[in-house]
């Protein structure tokens, strides 16, 4: 139990992690510039937790903001979620992605070093495996990135590996998430993408709630059991608990960088996810099989053995739980934390 600085704590995964941190007795301080989130997420974290969070509206790439935080609080560890994450946008605006995602990594590490806090949990991603061909994927698979967003995650990891090699006092846990979906079971907290969703589950749920006409299923001719691509969907609450588990074992870990896959170890096709969603929603979700999406891998799922063992953590929620909880959120908050547009 310690005071934890959570960067990007108003976002999808960060907000759910705040709930789990509070439930396990940690004191939580969030810094977020709200570039892709709403302060209402922080209010929802407090409401479902029945505990308070210190929220600072600020940029992690701004050194003075961080110095102010480190001067006021004695952080036991930092969890660094803050980043931009849209792949297409990263191709169109690479400098914004490198500036934001890597600027915040370097600034945060410098501020931590100067404050003498050297315990960090970093949001990495299965994107650091590029487009792997042999699932399940364990942490020894060769690292490569295939777009600017992915490179910011891989370079972020590399910066941290270099830092750990230079200074043995650092302990850094790199958590490589597979496909986070779902929402808090209360229905009060969930993913709230801006604009057209890039990811499958939020798109599907916006169709189900009537905001979009039908789900495009990208590719029906993959060499899989039903022709659609396979991913390892993981409930965001399981993922959030993985962060609490990582903090819990920090003391036991040797110094240096440690990478862990956070996934369920089970792959599901796009159509299996659609069917699971239809079951909990109670009616069909319109979809249409269209062209494959450029750059998509056929089948990706995690080997989470290392996390299961070293973090004493495992994902327990299945596809039905993910769909049920996501629907509880989307159906009661069709426009997320925002207000419905006029005339809708
Ligand atoms: P999100 O966009 O919901 O949350 C990120 C948060 O960081 C947002 O609240 C945003 O406002 C904030 N932020 C961004 N840049 C900032 C900055 N410079 N200073 C302060 N705040 C800033 O995204 P998420 O899905 O919750 O992802 C959290 C982390 O997990 C990210 O690092 C992302 O790359 C990583 N990740 C996400 C997924 C996924 O599919 N959601 C998968 C793998 C890894
Ligand atoms: C899942 C499956 C699509 C949308 C991405 C990033 C990865 C990580 C998680 C951050 C694929 C199909 C999707 C749609 C569809 N993010 N799909 N219709 O691409 O596995 O992973 O998010 O680190 O780095 O690459 O997730 O949700 O976009 O797609 O058929 O409208 O759903 O083709 O097979 P992806 P996704």
pLDDT at residue 344 in the model: 65
Q: Is residue 140 part of a domain?
A: yes
Which residue lies with its CA nearest to atom 4 of ligand 2? 200
Domain identity same for 94 and 211:
no
pLDDT at residue 339 in the model: 84
pLDDT at residue 342 in the model: 80
The reply to whether ligand 1 has any atom less than 6 angstroms from the CB of 11 is yes
Cα end-to-end span (Å), the chain: 46
With a threshold of 0.85, does the pTM exceed it?
Answer: yes
> Over the chain (344 residues), what is each successive 10-residue block's mean pLDDT?
95 98 98 97 98 98 98 98 97 98 98 98 98 96 97 98 98 98 98 94 98 98 98 99 98 97 98 98 98 96 98 98 98 93 74
Please tell me the total count of domains within the chain.
2
Peptide bond into 288 cis (omega under 30): no
pLDDT at residue 341 in the model: 82
Both tokens of 77, joined, read: 């560890």
Which residue lies with its CA nearest to atom 1 of ligand 2? 200
Domain identity same for 23 and 171:
yes
Beta strands in 73-221 (DSSP E): 77-80, 119-125, 171-177, 179-181, 215-218
Please tell me the number of the ligand nearest to residue 229's CA.
2
Reported as a single tens digit per residue, the pLDDT across 142-194 is 999 999 999 999 999 999 999 999 999 999 999 999 999 999 999 999 999 99
The reply to whether ligand 1 has any atom less than 6 angstroms from the CB of 37 is yes
The reply to whether ligand 1 has any atom less than 6 angstroms from the CB of 83 is yes
Domain identity same for 246 and 208:
no
pLDDT at residue 131 in the model: 93
The reply to whether ligand 2 has any atom less than 6 angstroms from the CB of 199 is yes
Domain identity same for 114 and 18:
yes
Please tell me the number of the ligand nearest to residue 84's CA.
1
The reply to whether ligand 2 has any atom less than 6 angstroms from the CB of 84 is no
Nearest Cα to Cα of residue 172 among 236, 32, 78, 304: 78
Domain identity same for 77 and 171:
yes
Cα–Cα distance between 46 and 42 in angstroms, integer?
Answer: 6
Domain identity same for 312 and 238:
no
Known catalytic residue at 203: no
3, 24 Cβ separation under 8 angstroms: no
pLDDT at residue 300 in the model: 98
Both tokens of 221, joined, read: 């001719």
Cα–Cα distance between 177 and 38 in angstroms, integer?
Answer: 23
Residue 293 is given by DSSP the state: P
242, 310 Cβ separation under 8 angstroms: no
State the distance from the centre of ligand 1 to the C-alpha of 222, rounded, in angstroms. 30
Catalytic pick from 97, 129, 149, 203?
149
Nearest-10 Cα torsion for 245, 248, 249, 252? 180
- The range of the structural domain enclosing residue 123 comes to 3-181+233-262
The domain that holds 61 is classified in CATH as 3.40.50.720
Q: Is 214 helix (H, G, I), strand (E, B) or coil?
A: coil
State the distance from the centre of ligand 1 to the C-alpha of 180, rounded, in angstroms. 12
């Amino acid at each position: 139990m310690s005071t934890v600085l959570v960067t990007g704590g108003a976002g999808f995964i960060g907000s759910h992690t705040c709930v789990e941190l509070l439930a396990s007795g940690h004191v939580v301080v969030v810094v977020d510039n709200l570039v892709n989130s709403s302060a209402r997420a922080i209010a929802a974290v407090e409401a479902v937790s029945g505990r308070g969070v210190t929220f600072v509206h600020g940029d992690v790439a701004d050194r003075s903001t961080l110095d102010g935080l480190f001067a006021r609080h004695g952080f036991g560890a930092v969890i660094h979620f803050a980043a931009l994450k849209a792949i297409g946008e990263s191709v169109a605006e690479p400098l914004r992605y490198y500036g934001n995602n890597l600027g915040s990594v370097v600034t945060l590490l410098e501020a931590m070093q100067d404050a003498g806090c050297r315990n960090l949990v970093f949001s990495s991603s299965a994107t650091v495996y590029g487009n792997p061909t042999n699932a399940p994927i364990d942490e020894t698979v060769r690292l490569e990135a295939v777009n600017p967003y992915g490179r910011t995650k891989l370079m972020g990891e590399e910066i941290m590996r270099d830092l750990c090699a230079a200074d043995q006092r650092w302990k850094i846990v790199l958590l490589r998430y597979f496909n986070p979906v779902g929402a808090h079971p209360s229905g009060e907290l969930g993913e709230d993408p801006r604009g057209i969703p890039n990811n499958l589950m939020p798109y599907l749920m916006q169709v189900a709630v009537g905001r979009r006409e039908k789900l495009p299923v990208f590719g029906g001719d993959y060499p899989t059991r039903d022709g659609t691509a396979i991913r390892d969907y993981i409930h965001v609450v399981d993922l959030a608990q993985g962060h609490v588990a990582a903090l819990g074992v920090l003391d036991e870990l040797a110094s240096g960088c440690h990478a862990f896959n956070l996934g369920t170890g089970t792959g599901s096709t796009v159509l299996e996810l659609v069917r699971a969603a239809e079951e909990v929603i109670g009616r069909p979700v319109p979809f249409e099989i269209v062209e494959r999406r450029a750059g998509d891998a056929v089948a990706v799922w995690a080997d989470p053995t290392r996390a299961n063992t070293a973090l004493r953590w495992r994902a327990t929620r299945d596809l039905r739980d993910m769909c049920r909880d996501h629907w509880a959120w989307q159906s009661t908050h069709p426009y997320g934390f925002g207000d419905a547009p006029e005339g809708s």
